[in-house]
Amino acid sequence: MAQSEKKAPTIVFMGTPEFAVPSLKALVDAGFLVKAVVTAPDKPKGRNRKKLFPPPVKEAALGLGLEVLAPASLKDPAFFEKLAALAPDFLAVAAFGRILGPQILFLPRLFCLNVHPSLLPLYRGPAPIQHVILNGDAVTGVTIMAMNTGVDTGDILLQEQTPVFKGETAADLETRLARKGADLLVRAVQKALAGELAPIPQDDTKATFAPLLTKESGRVDWSEPARRIECLVLAMNPWPGAFTFFDAKRIKIHEAAVWPENTNAKPGTVLAASNKGLLVATGNGAVNLTSLQGEAARKMPAGEFLRGNPVPVGSTLG
């Protein structure tokens, strides 16, 4: 068969949230044949929870004119039969959110590729971006991995580093890593087709884990050092959001910065409350909270918040 008559490589893409959208679009823009997109079923949102909304990947796929599969269960025989009939050369997975069994993992002819937003084996698990920021790391990156039956334990195919910028939130970093991951995914497919990929096994002795976040993950522990609290506020943006309590009322913290304040005050003690912010003692140093949000209210500068919600100096947050 002549080179021009060779069958074009085929891809089935699997992803759900906004993070995965650039990877899907990059594959299409690169000219690859994406035969179908697998994503989560529509979910209810809003106060009444009655209206169903599609995940971002489904919206993107429909906009690109691609077939969308949204099985309620990946173990549905009818779904697997449909997937197998597509006979993909690659599965390309980005933030899919569901565990793939061996039957699916070993379906593609060449690779089951995964876009993971960390420098594996560091930060295996569902929340690597948030934990990188929470721990104050200066560098992170993206890994393209050949998936296996473990949790982010597959061989490394490609990897690229990037700095974590000062003041960067999880939302900011996710946007950057989504774009970087998309570019790296396209390169991985190209290299695989050219026979240029050299899988590298992960060193399990260097592995760390990034567990799933819960709503309680955003609660500030004022006994922590000031730098750790500053990182928490950045890491929990946009979800679940950093928060504390005063007079049994929740206060959401949108912006905070380490403050050059030497204090022996009990952690959580309010040291100052002004238009410059709400200055709070921590286990080591102090942080200045400059953007706050009360219950059933909007985000606002600390000075504006304090005019409507006084927090006296000497009071304790917790």
Closest CA to 243 of 300, 169, 294: 294
In a domain, 317, yes or no: no
Whether residue 290 sits in one domain with residue 267: yes
- Rounded CA separation 241/254 (Å): 7
Domain that holds residue 185: 8-206
Give the CATH number, domain containing residue 123.
3.40.50.170
- Rounded CA separation 18/30 (Å): 19
Alpha-carbon torsion, ordered 142, 144, 150, 152, to 10 deg = 0
Whether residue 231 sits in one domain with residue 177: no
Whether residue 184 sits in one domain with residue 63: yes
Give the CATH number, domain containing residue 293.
3.10.25.10
Tokens standing for residue 62: 């429909």
pLDDT by residue for the chain (318 residues), tens digit each? 333 345 689 999 999 999 999 999 999 999 999 999 999 999 988 767 778 999 999 999 999 999 999 999 999 999 999 999 999 999 999 999 999 999 999 999 999 999 999 999 999 999 999 999 999 999 999 999 999 999 999 999 999 999 999 999 999 999 999 999 999 999 999 999 999 999 999 999 999 999 999 999 999 999 999 999 999 999 999 999 999 999 999 999 999 999 998 899 999 999 999 999 999 999 999 999 999 999 989 999 999 999 999 999 999 999
Whether residue 262 sits in one domain with residue 135: no
Whether residue 60 sits in one domain with residue 202: yes
Domain boundary residue, one of 206, 239, 272: 206
Whether residue 223 sits in one domain with residue 199: no
Provide the number of structural domains found in the chain: 2
Helical spans, DSSP H, in the chain: 21-29, 56-63, 77-85, 102-105, 128-134, 170-193, 226-235, 302-308
Whether residue 154 sits in one domain with residue 30: yes
Taking each helix axis from N to C end, the angle separating 21-29 and 170-193, rounded to the nearest 10 degrees, works out to 30
Whether residue 31 sits in one domain with residue 170: yes
**How do residues 1-48 score in pLDDT, each as one tens digit?**
333 345 689 999 999 999 999 999 999 999 999 999 999 999 988 767
Whether residue 241 sits in one domain with residue 100: no
Amino acid identity, position 45:
K
Whether residue 159 sits in one domain with residue 40: yes
**pTM of the prediction?**
0.94
Whether residue 66 sits in one domain with residue 191: yes
Domain boundary residue, one of 175, 206, 237: 206
Domain boundary residue, one of 206, 239, 266: 206
Residue 120 in contact with residue 161, Cβ under 8 Å? no
Whether residue 75 sits in one domain with residue 111: yes
